[in-house]
Amino acid sequence: MGLNNQWMQRDLAVLWHPCTQMKDHEQLPLIPIKRGEGVWLEDFEGKRYLDAVSSWWVNVFGHANPRINQRIKDQVDQLEHVILAGFSHQPVIELSERLVKMTPEGLTRCFYADNGSSCIEVAMKMSFHYWINRGRPDKKRFVTLSNSYHGETIAAMSVGDVPLFTETYKALLLDTIKVPSPDCYHRPEGMGWEEHSRNLFAAMEQTLAEHHDTVAAVIVEPLIQGAGGMRMYHPVYLKLLREACDRYGVHLIHDEIAVGFGRTGTMFACEQAGITPDFLCLSKALTGGYLPLAACLTTDEVYNAFYDDYPTLRAFLHSHSYTGNPLACAAALATLDIFEEDNVIENNQALAQRMASATAHLADHPNVAEVRQTGMVLAIEMVKDKASKTAYPWQERRGLSVFQHALERGALLRPLGSVVYFLPPYVITPEQIDFLAEVASEGIDIATRDKVSVAVPKDFHPGYRDPG
């Protein structure tokens, strides 16, 4: 028995893995990773895998980055953790100062959580509580886009719309208002992204006109709907939405947990619309992919609605045990140093162009409906019929074929259903991008062959998207 198999058997005896049907591992080997370096992950038998998805979109400057490593090592000898209620520490103060300085003007206060879903819950609770403090307890509903994803805790699921993650738990979810997404995948023939996104805003305008008296906030993933299949839309939608939220007296929450810190081509996606949301949720790349940390930034207007004498009970009584953990803040500070010192956003422009050119040929593939890109995120959508964009039945798990082929070739590509995507660390080289394009092309050829190896129930949950 090889080392990988030994570790796999020990794992399967005690672990329950996230976003996984564990029975899959009766046929699909689990891969134990011993070490990482740069874009590479290495298993216990020495095989390497290029991490094309940044280990669930968190890693930006490579695994075992020496600059981030050193910052954490220095911090651990000083302070590992301290309660953030009534106490503070240098890393969290410095990080907050830098986040306020680098985010859009008007975001002046940082509230910390442990992960992306928790950060969404912070923003939702703050908005809801704000309206209570302002004498508007009737404003308690949230508006969200179809096909959106904001996490897997209860409130975060409530403002999501990917059935695979929400359908089972419908009885637990909040009553939210769903508005059609400005996703440009289904735009009419010959119509550009901007025109389509403008046209789709009419539904949001009508919703806010009818329901603003009972709506606390609108929440969106700006520019890219990640878990919904890397669907993309034009920044004009965000500009129109900010104007409408101002007109109707509704908060705007931007979930930049996946798209913040350079993924869309600018440091934050909201910059491309020239707007400031009322709440900006950040996580994932915030620590360079090292430690759990999330920051919800908001305005003085929101902060001041809670600032009062204690007996008024206006305080925001929300907490996490590891809020503002010094080690995580140290990793975040090192990550921000690299952004400042290495011209990352500018360097990414060349990498994004290489991603586009390396995959351009796939636009002509008979089973590829679209190759789309925003900044350092590129997605390739496989379909059963190209002309009509008829999707493959999700039960066929075409993306799983791409995943398995990529592992054989030494790449970690984890498709979203039938959507193959690149979301690599920013330290990837042009040659490594070419390798990923080659592997993806081979995998797509294999996955789109007519025969599939699984039985497909014809009428079972047709709207589901398998996570790969």
As given in the structure block, the two tokens for residue 161 are 């719309």
Sign, CA dihedral 184-189-193-195, equals: negative
- CATH (domain of 224): 3.40.640.10
Residues 128 and 140 in one domain: yes
Give yes or no: residues 316 and 439 share one domain.
Answer: no
**Residue 316's closest CA among 85, 156, 154, 135?**
85
pLDDT of residue 1: 79
Which position has the token pair 């600018």? 266
User: Does any domain span residue 461?
Assistant: no
Which residue among 340, 358, 389 closes a domain? 340
Going by the annotation, the residues of the binding site for pyridoxal 5'-phosphate are: 116-117, 255, 320-321
C-alpha 29 chain-centroid distance: 26
Please tell me the pTM assigned to this model: 0.95
Q: Six-digit token pair at 177?
A: 């208002």
Instruction: State how far the Cα of 375 lies from the Cα of 349, in Å rounded to an integer.
Output: 7
Within a domain: residue 456?
no
Residues 271 and 141 in one domain: yes
- Per-residue confidence in pLDDT tens, the chain, 468 aa: 799 999 999 999 999 999 999 999 999 999 999 999 999 999 999 999 999 999 999 999 999 999 999 999 999 999 999 999 999 999 999 999 999 999 999 999 999 999 999 999 999 999 999 999 999 999 999 999 999 999 999 999 999 999 989 999 999 999 999 999 999 999 999 999 999 999 999 999 999 999 999 999 999 999 999 999 999 999 999 999 999 999 999 999 999 999 999 999 999 999 999 999 999 999 999 999 999 999 999 999 999 999 999 999 999 999 999 999 999 999 999 999 999 999 999 999 999 999 999 999 999 999 999 999 999 999 999 999 999 999 999 999 999 999 999 999 999 999 999 999 999 999 999 999 999 999 999 999 999 996 655 443 444 333 444 433
Domain that holds residue 433: 30-63+342-446
Domain end among 300, 324, 340 = 340
Same structural domain for residues 312 and 356? no
Cα–Cα distances in angstroms (integers) from residue 313 to residues 135, 421, 431, 439, in the given order: 13, 47, 58, 58
Task: Establish if 467 belongs to a structural domain.
Answer: no
Residue 402 lies in a domain: yes
> Among 335, 268, 256, which Cα is nearest to 296's?
256
Torsion angles phi and psi, residue 14, rounded to 5: -135, -20
59: CATH: 3.90.1150.10
The reply to whether 313 falls in a domain is yes
Note whether 166 and 246 are same-domain residues.
Answer: yes
Same domain, 358 and 302: no
- Establish if 438 belongs to a structural domain: yes
CA 281, CA 225: separation in Å to the nearest integer? 15
Does a structural domain hold residue 45? yes
54 and 161 housed in the same domain: no
Quick one: angle between helices 90-102 and 326-341, nearest 10?
Answer: 40
- Residues 264, 348, single domain; the answer is no
**Is residue 160 situated within a structural domain?**
yes
Number of neighbours of residue 322 by Cβ within 10 angstroms: 18
Q: How far apart are CA 149 and CA 156, in angstroms?
A: 8
Do 270 and 153 lie in a common domain?
yes
Q: Which residues pair with 11 in a beta bridge?
A: none
- Find, among 265, 200, 255, the residue nearest to 228 by Cα: 255
**Separation CA 214–CA 175 (nearest Å):** 12
Q: Are residues 375 and 437 in the same domain?
A: yes
What's the alpha-carbon Rg for the chain, to the nearest Å? 22
What's the CA gap between 33 and 45, in Å, rounded?
9
Chosen domain end from 320, 340, 360: 340
- The answer to whether 57 and 284 have CB atoms below 8 angstroms apart is yes
Residues 124 and 197 in one domain: yes
- The answer on 189 and 306 residing in a single domain is yes
Nearest Cα to 295, choosing from 81, 85, 118? 118
- Name the phi and psi angles at 395, rounded to 5: -65, -20
- Which residues line the annotated binding site for substrate? 56, 149, 284, 319, 414
Cα–Cα distance measured from residue 254 to residue 144, given in angstroms and rounded to the nearest whole number: 11
Q: Kind and range of the H or E element at 227?
A: none
Structural domain total, the chain? 2
**In this structure, are residues 251 and 141 in contact, taking their beta carbons and an 8 Å threshold?**
no
In the annotated binding site, the residues are: 56, 116-117, 149, 255, 284, 319-321, 414
* Contact present, 286 and 293 (Cβ < 8 Å): yes
